[in-house]
Structure 1
Amino acid sequence: MFFHGTSRVNEKGHLEIGGVDVVTLAEQYGTPLYIYDVALIRARARAFKETFEKHGVKAQVAYASKAFSTIAIVQLIEEEGLSLDVVSGGELYTALKAGFPPERIHFHGNNKSRSELEMALDCGVGCIVVDNFYELQLLEELSRQRETVTDILLRVTPGIEAHTHDYILTGQEDSKFGFDLNNGQADEALQQAMQSTSLHVLGIHCHIGSQIFETTGFVLAAQKIFQKIADWREEYGFVPQIVNLGGGFGIRYTNEDDPLPAAQYVEQIIAEVKTQVEKFSLPMPEIWIEPGRSLVGDAGTTIYSIGSRKEVPNVRHYVAVDGGMSDNIRPALYEAKYEAVLANRVLDANEEVVSIAGKCCESGDMLIWDLPLPKAEAGDYLAVFCTGAYGYSMANNYNRLPRPAVVFVENGEAQLVVKRETYEDLVRLDVPLKIKVKKG
């Protein structure tokens, strides 16, 4: 059993987060329920930001909002002085509704639509990360029409494979993202962008993967990028103001995971950039990084109510909860692993090993396999840890299940930041059939 941030067991034997009893929250707001430890998010944000400040390095730490995007989390990120990454018109709209300064927004994505780019240009986002030649030409056209110069980063794939799950690798050569450094695409993209009077290339961006537990991949990526930068300086006179080495910093989902502290990732990145700058006699660029999961992942806990059981003699005991792949699709999608406790009986001794089944009509809707628990009964509350990233953001209405509510807790106070969907919400956009079907 392990706890993160402000989580602890209170005098009732209940799980407590942010000074608030989780059982009380479950009774007040219902289940499934996402609970976020605000103090832990603040601590994670400051750890990244303050490490750059400690070393006197100009930098931007941009929260990758795809991990969890709501008005409240965007406002919290703004409070902490971070920048913001968005990858769609919806995430951009959320950021703007939250009052986030558009000049600190970076717009990513491998297939930005014309309307999305128009929205980004019209609101004045600080930077657009260009992913392909189609986008480069479209953005040049839209910028020219507006008689403006758009700041861009060119996303490149350096051919570095991070040690992570195959489904979430993005930095290797065979990727849907970015201009390849090794086959001439990146060279051609840079030339096109530099020839445009409507685009200004601030620098280079790469992202090598997700849930990364070591710094080797970032070091190798920096080495390849700076070798290419040195070539571009000689060939085109290009020297970047910004080098963005992405995110992907891992968190601990289970005791099998062993991520590094935020400061260690940052310090290794700073050290390698300084080494490369000195090696090639380049000016020190501003360093950008993009933590997402590592800011919010272990700050989130999902609370479920336990319902039915099924015991298969000599095979397995199933315990079902009132959520599943509709609020956390990662186990089905990535075979992601989690740890959990009974939130209302944390100190009770484990008596059995069970597998936690979701309620969706899919045999693959399993949240946790082989979890040691006290004898779980209907009405108990199961707390699944580290669900703060890609839980709510990937939630869905499969089987017409309403998406859960979201609550922030800090200093003994709780605030509802996303209301629970209702059945009425599920049909709000439906349009009744008006065509009369002929019988016979």
Structure 2
Amino acid sequence: MICENLGINKDGVLTFAGRDTVELAKEYGTPLYLMDEERIRHNCRVYVNAMKKHFGETALPLFASKAASFKAVYKIVMEEGMGVDVVSCGEMYTAKNAGFAMENAYFHGNNKTDFDIEYAIDCGLGYFVADSHEELDAIDRIAGEKGVCQKVLLRITPGIDPHTYDAVATGKVDSKFGSAIETGAAEEITKYALEKKNISLRGFHCHVGSQVFDSDVFFKSSDIMLEFIKDMSEKFDFTAEILNLGGGYGVKYVESDPYIDIEANIAQVAEMVKS
């Protein structure tokens, strides 16, 4: 079955997580979005347990706000021990008002405004994930005005084709996101970030794409990023504290879509990192 929490009851009515959808529609009206809290918690625990088992207690899987930026969902993923990715002030505001610890929030996006940056710093944001020199300049300036040294990760493009839809392929050399290793841009922006007075560079992020079923894509990108980190250490005497590996495993929409063993994949990446 594609979705385990869907079913048909004795009256021939579609059920979701055991609830009669017709009765739910009568009670709440339509359109109605249904979410299975038990399933969400289960999915969170798969990642949290696997990450801590294979990477250690400091490992932190992040929930992508773009999946469902609702207060109730933020509360669930926070309770399950996850951090959060945000891409807008709206997502940040919602997460913060749901009680999310902002030190575990990472702010992505390649077109952050000064307002976005100022709001994020005022919220106590943990990390900016920066895409460009211009963004680094803005973060450095605004952080300086506020008397803080802001933690930053750099978004790096590993040059990977994720074999997914072009619209959600983000790891190619010519991606509009991040700085490419292959062109030398990643090295140059690393040097630039390290020179900023009010920025504390803590590591690197990459994102290969969404709706990815080919697990080798994640293994290859991990290998490329680890080699890049080693190279930056040798050239700039910089030790990256954080490697944030991004990308979305494929959602099973049809029966022919393959099953993905999340823990096995995390274990393999961990083995690569440790070696």
User: Into which bin does the TM-score normalised by the smaller protein fall?
Assistant: over 0.9
Contact 1:233–1:239 (CA under 8 A) maintained in structure 2: yes
Shift of residue 33, structure 1, vs aligned partner:
1.9
**Partner of residue 88, structure 1:** 88
User: Partner letter of residue 49 of structure 2?
Assistant: E
1:10 equivalenced with 2:9 (yes/no) = yes
Change (3 A) 1:114 1:56: closer
Q: What is the alpha-carbon distance in structure 2 between the residues aligned to residue 87 and residue 198 of structure 1?
A: 22
Which structure would you say has the larger RCO, counting Cα contacts within 8 Å and 6 or more residues apart?
A: 1
- What's the counterpart of residue 26 of structure 2? 27
Structure that is richer in strand per residue: 1
Cα distance in structure 1, aligned partners of 2:144 and 2:55? 37
Once residues 2 and 35 of structure 2 are traced to their aligned partners in structure 1, the CA distance between those partners, rounded to angstroms, is 13
Q: CA deviation at 1:89?
A: 1.0
Paired residues of 2:70 and 2:94 also in contact (CA < 8 A): yes
Alpha-carbon contact 1:14-1:23 (below 8 Å) kept: yes
Aligned to 1:167: 167
Q: Provide, for residues 296-327 of structure 1, a one-character-per-residue CA deviation record: whole Å limited to 9, x for no partner.
A: xxxxxxxxxxxxxxxxxxxxxxxxxxxxxxxx
What letter is aligned with 2:193?
A: A
Superposed CA deviations along residues 93-119 of structure 1, whole A, max 9, x for unmatched, are: 111121211111110001011000000
The residue that corresponds to 1:149 in the other structure is 149
Mapped pair 1:39 → 2:38: yes
Give the SS at the match of 2:207. coil
**What does residue range 302-341 of structure 1 map to in structure 2 within 5 Å?**
none
Residue 127 (str. 1) matches residue 127 (str. 2): yes
Question: Structure 1 residues 214, 271: CA separation in 2 closer, same or farther (over 3 Å shift)?
Answer: farther
Residue 270 of structure 1 pairs with residue 240 of structure 2: no
Show the counterpart of 2:229. Answer: 229
Question: Is 1:213 the equivalent of 2:213?
Answer: yes
CA deviation map 1:137-193 (0-9, x unaligned)? 110111111121111100000101102111110000111100111112111111111
Matches for 1:172-187 after TM superposition, within 5 Å: 172-187=172-187
> Highest CA radius of gyration, 1 or 2?
1
3-state SS, counterpart of residue 36 of structure 1: coil
Q: Residue 32 of structure 1 aligns to which amino acid in structure 2? A: P
Q: Deviations over 1:201-223 (max 9, x none)?
A: 11110000111112211111112
- Say which SS state the counterpart of residue 173 (structure 1) adopts: coil
Q: Aligned equivalents of 1:211 and 1:44: distance in 2?
A: 16
Relative to structure 1, the CA distance from residue 3 to residue 175 in structure 2 (aligned partners, 3 Å threshold; closer, same or farther) is closer
Q: Name the one with the larger helix percent.
A: 2
**Partner of 2:151: helix, strand, or coil?**
strand
Q: CA deviation at 1:3?
A: 4.9
Checking the alignment, whether the CA contact within 8 Å between 1:251 and 1:259 is kept in structure 2 is: no
1:197 Cα deviation from its structure 2 partner? 2.2
Q: Which runs of 5+ in 2 are unaligned?
A: none
Instruction: Find the aligned partners of 1:76 and 1:161 in 2 and give their Cα distance.
Output: 33
Measured in 1, the distance between the counterparts of 2:12 and 2:135 equals 55
Matched, 1:48 2:47: yes
- Deviations along 1:277-297, one digit per CA (max 9) or x if unpaired, are xxxxxxxxxxxxxxxxxxxxx
Deviations 1:401-430 (A, max 9, x none): xxxxxxxxxxxxxxxxxxxxxxxxxxxxxx
AA aligned to 1:96 is K
SS class of match (2:33):
strand
Letter in 1 for 2:48: K
C-alpha distance in structure 2 between counterparts of 1:259 and 1:94, whole Å = 33
Deviates more, 1:138-147 or 1:15-24: 15-24
Aligned twin of 1:109: 109
| Cα distance in 1, alignment partners of residues 156 and 84 from structure 2 | 20
**Partner AA of 1:10 in structure 2:** N
SS at match of 1:35: coil
CA separation of 1:165/1:3 partners in 2, compared to 1, >3 Å: closer, same or farther? closer
CA distance in 1, matches of 2:197, 2:125: 19
Asked whether the 8 Å contact 1:212–1:259 carries over to 2, the reply is: no
Counterpart in the other structure of 2:261: 261
Matched residues in 1 for 2:198 and 2:221: separation? 29
Q: Percent identity?
A: 38
* 3-state SS, counterpart of residue 62 of structure 2: strand
Shift of 1:56: 4.9
Q: CA deviation at 1:261?
A: 2.6
Aligned AA for 2:22? V
- Give secondary structure in 2 for the equivalent of 1:245: strand
Whether the aligned pair in 2 keeps the contact of 1:162 and 1:208 (CA below 8 Å) is yes
Counterpart of 1:245 in structure 2 is: 245
CA contact (8 A) 2:54 2:266 kept: no
CA distance, structure 2, for counterparts of residue 111 and residue 83 of structure 1: 22
Q: Distance in 1 between matches of 2:16 and 2:265?
A: 27
Farther off after superposition, 183-192 or 81-90: 183-192
TM-score of the pair, normalised by structure 2: 0.95
Which structure 1 residue ranges, 5 or more long, are not aligned? 276-440
